[in-house]
Amino acid sequence: MAHDEHNPLTHPEVRNASTGLYVAAFVLGMAAMGIACLVTVGFDLSQVTILTWLAVLAAVASLGQLYLLFKLDLSRAMLWHTVSLVLTIPLFFMAIGLTIFMFHYLEARVMLGS
């Protein structure tokens, strides 16, 4: 994180701004969302196939944006941002997946109309 403290513009998180990366993040995000929309409404696919496509496209778009927008890497300036994100991602999906899993079996056993 070494930089000239008297000039904040020399900070590595300022210096890592890049037109190319931001444009790439925009193109990647719009392309992935456009394809996801097309897959959902433009083709007669099974629900499992659509859900698989949506999951893959969401992963590509979100991981691509995380890297391109935040410039996450193992450099000294960004190491702990990257580590904290890598440790949060499993918690994010565990919270969603385990909740759906628990309510799926709860519904099958006790909910009205099951």
**Structure-derived torsion over alpha carbons of residues 20, 63, 89, 97, reported in degrees to the nearest 10:** 150
- By CB under 8 A, is residue 13 in contact with another protein? yes
Question: Which amino acid appears at position 44 of this protein?
Answer: D
Q: Which of residues 40-69 bind another protein (CB under 8 A)?
A: 40-41, 47, 50-51, 54-55, 57-58, 61-62, 65-66, 69
Number of residues in contact with another protein, rule: CB under 8 A? 57
- By CB under 8 A, is residue 17 in contact with another protein? yes
* Crossing angle for the helix pair 47-70 and 19-42, to the nearest 10 degrees: 170
Other CB atoms within 10 A of residue 45 CB:
13
For residues 36 and 58, the answer to whether their CB atoms sit within 8 Å is yes
- By CB under 8 A, is residue 88 in contact with another protein? yes
- By CB under 8 A, is residue 31 in contact with another protein? no
Q: Helix (H, G, I), strand (E, B), or coil: what is residue 43?
A: coil
- What Å distances lie between residue 91 and 28, 63, 99, CA to CA? 25, 16, 12
State the residues that interact with another protein by CB under 8 A: 1-3, 5, 8-9, 11-15, 17-19, 21-23, 25-26, 29-30, 32-34, 36-37, 40-41, 47, 50-51, 54-55, 57-58, 61-62, 65-66, 69-70, 77, 80-81, 84-85, 88, 91-93, 95-96, 99-100, 103, 107, 111
